Amino acid sequence: MAEQQFTSETKVAFLVAPEGIEQIELTSPWAAVRDAGAEPVLISTEPGKVQAFEHLDAADTFSVDAVVGDVRVEDYAALVLPGGVANPDALRMDETAVAFVRDFVASGRPVAAICHAIWMLVEADVLRDREVTSWPSLQTDVRNAGGRWTDAEVVTDANLVTSRKPDDLPAFNRELLSRING
């Protein structure tokens, strides 16, 4: 399979909370999107900078490009939801962020969620009859939301791409890129 290449007009949204993002789950897909020629865009609930973590230890900060209340689904080719326990737990309390995720899934554009980010898909109520994966402790949440949880490095179901953990990032990134229409 040839390596996917996009134009600089292809924008991919990365939605995160102001803190608690698992750094590698942000930076690895970001680099994959950027290296494929698309433009990654960091979206959060507040302007300024966001704080990433390496598990429980504070890591780097990243500048926010846009606030979720000011963006439109149709301006992006795909949505990436990085994990980290605190990140999606905070995001799911923001109705604007939840609505953005819900609308993105409804648009049919790719939505890629890794690890604990599945909580955003649970909160957006978009998992009914969908097959996904996540960090294993969230499988009951997925089932309670009407989804089917599978233990695999990457699971795709229509426009959803999901993975369990940082070790799954190569498969996650490959499947994300394969679903973006440049």
User: 1 pLDDT exceeds 50?
Assistant: no
The reported pLDDT for the residue numbered 3 is 55
Q: Given 3.40.50.880, 1.10.3720.10, 3.30.1490.20, 1.10.150.120, which CATH number is that of 11-179?
A: 3.40.50.880
At residue 111's C-alpha, the angle toward residues 99 and 29, to 5°, is 120
- Of the listed 12, 17, 64, 115, which one is catalytic? 115
pLDDT tens by residue, 51-96: 999 989 999 999 999 999 999 999 999 999 999 999 999 999 999 9
- 115 in catalytic set: yes
Closest Cα to residue 71, out of 103, 112, 32?
103
- 116 in catalytic set: yes
At residue 165's C-alpha, the angle toward residues 167 and 3, to 5°, is 55
Query: Per-residue confidence at 9, pLDDT binned at 50, 70, 90?
Result: confident
- Of the listed 92, 102, 116, 130, which one is catalytic? 116
Question: What angle do helix axes 169-179 and 23-35 make, rounded to 10 degrees?
Answer: 40
Please tell me the total number of residues recorded for the chain in this structure. Answer: 182
Distance of CA 24 to the CA centre of its chain: 12
Q: Are 70 and 40 in contact (CB under 8 A)?
A: no
pLDDT tens by residue, 92-147: 999 999 999 999 999 999 999 999 999 999 999 999 999 999 999 999 999 999 99
Domain limits of the chain? 11-179
